[in-house]
Amino acid sequence: MATGRTHRPATRSRGIPEATVARLPLYLRALTALSERSVPTVSSEELAAAAGVNSAKLRKDFSYLGSYGTRGVGYDVEYLVYQISRELGLTQDWPVVIVGIGNLGAALANYGGFASRGFRVAALIDADPAMAGKPVAGIPVQHTDELEKIIQDEGVSIGVIATPAGAAQQVCERLVAAGVTSILNFAPTVLSVPDGVDVRKVDLSIELQILAFHEQRKAGELAAAGTVVPAVAARQESAAARRGTAAGQESVADQGPDGDVPAVMPT
């Protein structure tokens, strides 16, 4: 397995549903915005709208954390910010390492969202000796040889993998062996990890493919209904023009030899 879930029945402490956990950061962001505008209190309806969910769901989510609202009034913004931050573990400092400083790794290093909210880029690591010492986002890149040392010295438990797909599993194993127990994987590979290690995956091409599926269905439905949408017509024309072949089966799975693109891999 490597599905990014801890599979044991989760030591019956306070079982917050996974789906709820995934929404807490959303609420937190909306609340932080309110807090910055000095809004003192907010109703489930308003907050739900800001976070893009419906209010019943939000109330149920919050009910897992405890009773932090006031009936007839709403929620105290500051208090909720604190409670959610604490629940998510953001009141402590989480050093993270980013491995693979290509295009994507550099973008991540520069990402403001890392620095805020208790995360801190403890080190940037790359296999290319030519990168060593070169500063990215103000932090000097270190060579992969240092990986274990860095993780132990800094007490890193969260690692970000932004290497090519071919290197990801090996990097993953070194991270885990050195003590990392949570991994955010940007490489398009299934990582296998021992029990107790969480993996979350961010996969650009998967997201695009899901969108394409829905796009296609929209187009199909419209066509069936006899509607003609200009943009769609244009796309299909130009697509047909560009593509030599008729149905285009074998455009799938050809993309030149690998090891070319800097930090991210084919599909």
Partner DNA sequence: GCATGTGAATGCATTCACAGCG
Partner DNA sequence: CGCTGTGAATGCATTCACATGC
- Site residues for a copy of itself, window 221-260 (CB under 8 A)? 221, 229-239, 242-243, 247-249, 251-255, 258, 260
**How far is C-alpha 202 from the geometric centre of its chain's CA atoms?**
5
Residue whose CB is less far from DNA, 6 or 157? 6
Considering the rule CB under 8 A, would residue 123 count as an interface residue with a copy of itself?
no
6 to 45, contacts with a copy of itself by CB under 8 A? 6, 10-11, 13, 21-22, 24-26, 28-30, 32, 35-36
Residue 72 labelled as part of a binding site: no
CA proximity to 10, closest of 154, 195, 177: 195
Specify the stretch interacting with DNA by CB under 7 A; choose among 56-64, 118-126, 154-162, 224-232: 56-64
The 3-class secondary structure across 86-139, one letter per residue, is: HHHCCCCCEEEEEECCCHHHHHHHHCHHHHCCCEEEEEEEECCHHHCCCEECCE
Alpha-carbon gap, residue 54 to 129, rounded angstroms: 50
**Is the Cβ–Cβ distance between 51 and 58 less than 8 Å?**
yes
Specify the stretch interacting with a copy of itself by CB under 8 A; choose among 38-46, 59-67, 103-111, 125-133: 103-111
9 to 38, contacts with DNA by CB under 7 A? 17-20
Considering the rule CB under 7 A, would residue 73 count as an interface residue with DNA?
yes
Residue whose CB is less far from DNA, 47 or 171? 47
CA proximity to 165, closest of 259, 91, 52, 36: 259
Considering the rule CB under 7 A, would residue 54 count as an interface residue with DNA?
yes
At CA 217, angle to CA 215 and CA 219, rounded to 5?
70
**Is the Cβ–Cβ distance between 102 and 80 less than 8 Å?**
no
Residue 118 labelled as part of a binding site: no
Residues that bind DNA (CB under 7 A): 17-20, 43-45, 53-57, 59-60, 62-63, 67-75
